[in-house]
Amino acid sequence: MTDRKFNLHDGKKGAALAVRLTPKASRNKIVGITDDGTVKVHITADSVDGGATPVLMNFLSAVLGVSATRLDLVAGETGYDKLIAVMDMDSVDVHKRILAYVE
């Protein structure tokens, strides 16, 4: 894994969430959080190149209990590493909700 420096933190209007995506999983799930704070998510979608992003956003929307319109993909549209802004929610609340779904 590369040396990423994505950390969950408060932004101007919400929190930033770093995600490491694994496609082609048997079900959508959060499998862990790395030492640098990146959330590891497995998604059922076949492809990272655009196909998995909508599935990821809908899954995170359900996990966080927010509308998908409150999530914004900041970086990583076609890659495994994504940076997502969670609008109107601080990093503490995001962290608590993510931890509740870690398997």
pLDDT per residue as tens digits for the range 54-98? 999 999 999 999 998 999 998 888 889 999 999 988 888 988 999
Q: Is 68 exposed, middle or buried (0-12, 13-18, 19+ CB in 10 A)?
A: middle
User: Domains, the chain, ranges and CATH?
Assistant: 9-99 (3.30.1200.10)
pLDDT of residue 10: 54
pLDDT of residue 30: 96
pLDDT of residue 89: 86
Q: Report which secondary-structure segment, H or E, holds 53.
A: helix 52-64
Q: Is 25 exposed, middle or buried (0-12, 13-18, 19+ CB in 10 A)?
A: middle
pTM recorded for the entire structure: 0.82
